[in-house]
Chain A
């Protein structure tokens, strides 16, 4: 049944806004991954691989009301991911060019 007013289901559209915030955050990760991909394909792929994880976490916004203990774990996942990206970025910044070309890792050219 569709209510007359969305406000009844989701006051202030808070839930909707929170889902959009998760979407923005995962898109930001995708953008960071794509930016790194250009120069450091391996690190870029690692960051890009985190994007669907965050996207998936955002889809649980509906259930936060019933499972408050899960919420803090979801948010820890975000912090851990950002810190991982930061550490990757520092490694890239220090080492310059680690074995970053995919061609070095995979025998793409036989």
Chain B
């Protein structure tokens, strides 16, 4: 037993010898477990709950990516042009759209890495995405300010 996490259901316990997460319930330790027939995990596969959580994380990042694409498209198509800065909308919108594609691709890579770590029972890799997202959004905010300043100066 290396590490454990409370799930409110049973206790998820990492089995050190096999490196997989198994669920231990108090009843199981007493040898009076009548629930366990349904949850037979293949020895190499991690607990389905972690796999599913990983999948949900991936899906959430992809919804974020879609939102970025829509935001970029909205800026390019729906905003009135900045006076004096004809390229302003494209400068702001296109990076957002590209960031959407990048977030989607990176999130797939992270899903894979996390899946591999779960399978090995290794520590989860650190995610790159929050930094990518925060950095690009901060950059676009700065860019917006610059476009507005140029527009006001003309």
Contact = CB atoms under 8 A, between A and B. Distances in A.
Contacts of A29: 66
Interface string A1-27: 000000111011011011001101100
A22 B59 contact: yes
A75 B98 CA distance: 20
Interface residues of B, number: 46
B-side interface mostly: helix
Given A12-B7, A89-B100, A92-B73, 7 more contacts: A8-B35, A14-B53, A21-B56, A28-B67, A36-B73, A65-B45, A93-B94
Interface of B: 7-10, 23, 35, 38-39, 41, 45, 48-49, 51-53, 55-56, 58-60, 62-63, 65-67, 69-70, 72-74, 76-77, 90, 93-94, 97-98, 100-101, 104-105, 107-108, 111-112, 115
28 contacts: A8-B35, A11-B39, A12-B8, A12-B49, A14-B48, A18-B52, A18-B55, A25-B62, A25-B63, A28-B67, A64-B48, A64-B51, A65-B48, A65-B51, A78-B59, A78-B104, A82-B62, A82-B104, A83-B105, A85-B100, A86-B65, A86-B101, A89-B72, A92-B73, A92-B76, A92-B77, A93-B93, A93-B97
